[in-house]
Structure 1
Amino acid sequence: MKSTLSHRCARMAAAGALSFALLAGSATGIATAATPKPTPSGSKYASPAAGSLTVKASATEVKAGGKVTFTGRSKGLAVGSKVVLQHKNKGKWTTLQASTTIKQGSSYSLDAKLNTKGKEELRVKDGETVSPTVTVTVK
């Protein structure tokens, strides 16, 4: 009986040591895989750690004063982060009076009334993270 018990203990100790070794090696691999690659100096693109935003406008044409809903998703941004709508005015990005927060599931939705006639270049922004631009024609 004693020899069976000692064999079981030895097997359990060996299995535990093997499990520990496998987990330790796996954790090292995960830590290495999660390390972000450096971005080239002077790159116009944000680093992967900064996150990303997408944007889609509910309409590509609207009458002056009409409402457009902007929706999108975020990646790498915290739930509750504030996103603002911006438009390009004389070559500079200006923040409009439309903002919202990132919801659970990494999505957002915001409404904006567009008054300036012409082609509006718009984007959403959270800190240094910006979306691609969308164009809405205001008639």
Structure 2
Amino acid sequence: MNATQIAISATLVAGGTVSPAQTVPAEQWTGPAVSTVGGAVVRADVVAALNIFLAQRQATPEAWAGSADSASVHTGGAQRAEVKADTIMATRAGLTGYMTRNEYNPESAESKRRNARYIRLRFGPEYTDEVSRLQGLAHRVAAVSTASEPDTDGK
């Protein structure tokens, strides 16, 4: 700092022009109502408007986003093997972890290529083969677990 800057800073501090901001609690406010574009707003008016809004009938979530029937989605119909196979197809297509990156752009050529590969895998024979493999694996695991359980009749 040069001498002029130091002198100006010292004058401002000594003169008291630099002071911390002072806040006033709402209960102690004595000035006029804070005006907005439409004029002064009184707390009672805001509370009344809020109560009128809350008294109105609200739309159901189905009205906002639609129901499962309107989307022609059968809820609860997927088996565990189908869900796992779908996840495996997404992993093979390179979608897992890819969309969470900061540089993800759904319009990029890379995203379109990965999505197209997922669609091809998901609706191709790879998906049905994976479902069959997983269902067969589940049946084998169930058979092994029941065969290895101890006999409960005491023999």
Alignment TM-score, normalising by the size of structure 2: 0.22
Alignment TM-score, normalising by the size of structure 1: 0.24
Q: Which has the higher strand share?
A: 1
Q: Which one has a bigger Cα radius of gyration?
A: 2
Which structure's relative contact order is higher, taking Cα pairs within 8 Å and 6+ residues apart? 1
Q: Which has the higher helix share?
A: 2
